[in-house]
A = this chain, B = another copy of it.
């Protein structure tokens, strides 16, 4: 029985999340029952939605139970199997949580799926070819529905979701503008990902100056906005939206630490006849196969680029997660566990 290091949620944040909300726990992996599979996690995915689950309040995600392993996506390798469908050595992705190993019921629908790492690295199944990639695909294709020639804006542009949004929109023939934090991220977004422009939001003090900066690089106005952030950036984009603009609301990380950031000019939704829709990609599973096929093909052929921030060891997960919430990551935040 290998020893399994886990990170539990020990107590709920009051205001900002802090490292002491988490607790490291060690236990032995249990013996497998019939139809069960033991997976050794190679990568743990850290995602902004996890912050919402740390609260006890009404949220789109069920609250994370106290004293339990933090939930989260994992990519790993089968190390023991009592299920005919899974063999030792199989590469699998699932929701193994913040721990080194998980025991999975091989019969549970959707709990785990085998993946092919011939042309796609295992970690990508937690990013561009996983939940973040499908999130980008769904929000852009199904909510924003950009037409060639339109201007698409995405916040957190260098991140796991934003980077895919922008590259897909470029492939659709759109003008694409990103928001990212810092000159390095902005340079990457333009030079490597091919965005038309990127605004370093840290260089601007308020929504008004952000508004002007966006107006300079989106002179025809904004038709589609893929929102990962909220706050002043949302206000700045709203003021630049064209009539009949569409906003896919994927995240509001600016308000995750307990202080909601108001939309200061809601009348713009009326004046510009905007549509805004909040969504959670796990509620649209019917689109995953189509999205994953397209995303997998683009990654395998090098047409969809991505970048990862990789923390080492399960012990580093809490700090890496807090860093993600404050934008310290650069690309998809992962924890490497082996």
- Residues on A facing B (Cβ under 8 Å): 52, 58-60, 230, 234, 243, 249-252, 255, 260-267, 269-280, 283
Minimum distance in angstroms from A247 CB to a CB of chain B: 9
Partner among B234, B271, B273, B280 whose Cβ is within 8 Å of the Cβ of A273: B280
Contacts of A270 in B (CB 8 A): 60, 249-252, 278, 280
Of all chain B residues, the one with the shortest Cβ separation from A57 is: B271
Minimum distance in angstroms from A235 CB to a CB of chain B: 9
18 contacts between A and B (CB under 8 A): A58-B271, A59-B271, A60-B270, A230-B266, A234-B266, A249-B269, A250-B270, A251-B270, A252-B266, A252-B267, A255-B266, A260-B265, A262-B264, A262-B266, A269-B278, A273-B279, A274-B278, A275-B276
**4 nearest CB pairs, A to B:** A262-B262, A270-B278, A269-B278, A263-B263
The distance in angstroms between the C-alpha atoms of A279 and B244, with both chains bound, is 9
The distance in angstroms between the C-alpha atoms of A234 and B264, with both chains bound, is 13
Taking A263-B263, A275-B277 as known contacts, 19 extra A-B pairs with beta carbons closer than 8 A to each other, sorted by chain A number, are A59-B271, A60-B270, A60-B272, A60-B273, A249-B270, A250-B270, A252-B267, A252-B270, A255-B266, A261-B266, A262-B262, A263-B266, A269-B278, A271-B278, A272-B278, A273-B279, A274-B278, A275-B278, A276-B276
The distance in angstroms between the C-alpha atoms of A261 and B265, with both chains bound, is 7
Minimum distance in angstroms from A24 CB to a CB of chain B: 30
The distance in angstroms between the C-alpha atoms of A279 and B278, with both chains bound, is 18
Contacts of A60 in B (CB 8 A): 243, 270-273
The distance in angstroms between the C-alpha atoms of A184 and B55, with both chains bound, is 43
Copies held by the complex: 2
The distance in angstroms between the C-alpha atoms of A52 and B264, with both chains bound, is 18
Of all chain B residues, the one with the shortest Cβ separation from A277 is: B275
The distance in angstroms between the C-alpha atoms of A59 and B267, with both chains bound, is 9
Contact A273 B267 (CB under 8 A): no
Contact A260 B267 (CB under 8 A): yes
Contacts of A277 in B (CB 8 A): 269, 273-276
Of all chain B residues, the one with the shortest Cβ separation from A244 is: B283
Contact A275 B275 (CB under 8 A): yes
The distance in angstroms between the C-alpha atoms of A230 and B273, with both chains bound, is 15
The distance in angstroms between the C-alpha atoms of A255 and B252, with both chains bound, is 24
Minimum distance in angstroms from A260 CB to a CB of chain B: 5
The distance in angstroms between the C-alpha atoms of A52 and B250, with both chains bound, is 31
Which of A249, A261, A270, A283 has the most chain B CB atoms inside 10 A of its CB? A270
Contacts of A266 in B (CB 8 A): 230, 234, 252, 255, 260-263
Contacts of A273 in B (CB 8 A): 60, 277-280, 283
Contacts of A265 in B (CB 8 A): 260, 262
Contacts of A283 in B (CB 8 A): 273
Contacts of A269 in B (CB 8 A): 249, 276-278
The distance in angstroms between the C-alpha atoms of A262 and B265, with both chains bound, is 6
Of all chain B residues, the one with the shortest Cβ separation from A273 is: B278
Minimum distance in angstroms from A41 CB to a CB of chain B: 28
